[in-house]
């Protein structure tokens, strides 16, 4: 009987401890920015909310080397190519790609 109770406790613990991890699965998207309005950005026709703690960078090339520098939401412009990390419809990282400018 104790084994059944222990088994149930382990199952409940695993369900509570592991479940949130499945809610945070992220994917990366690539596309062109259509518009930016406050904390909402439209990329290739889909709208995304920009998280308050979103990491935003500009990736660029200089003297045959690739670099990355910190950026802000105000640096995102329509027509920019971006790579973004999203969870659901919220962006947590945005890389503005400014190659060859």
pLDDT of residue 64: 87
Alpha-carbon dihedral angle through residues 9, 14, 15, 16, given to the nearest 10 degrees: 90
Task: Give the residue with greater pLDDT, 5 vs 68.
Answer: 68
Query: Is 88's pLDDT higher than 60?
Result: yes
Using one digit for the tens of pLDDT, what is the confidence trace for 35-58?
999 999 999 999 999 999 999 999
Query: Is 69's pLDDT higher than 70?
Result: yes
Sign (positive/negative) of CA torsion 74, 79, 85, 91? positive
* Domains along the chain with CATH numbers: 26-98 (2.40.50.320)
């Amino acid at each position: 009987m104790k084994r059944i109770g222990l088994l149930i406790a382990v199952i409940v613990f695993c369900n509570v401890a592991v479940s949130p991890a499945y809610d945070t699965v992220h994917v990366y998207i690539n596309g062109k920015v259509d518009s930016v309005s406050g904390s909402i950005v439209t990329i290739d026709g889909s709208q995304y909310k920009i998280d308050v703690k979103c990491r935003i960078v500009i990736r660029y090339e200089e003297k045959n080397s690739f670099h990355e520098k910190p950026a802000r939401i105000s640096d995102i412009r329509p027509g920019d190519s971006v790579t973004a990390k999203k969870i659901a419809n919220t962006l947590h990282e945005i890389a503005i790609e400014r190659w060859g400018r």
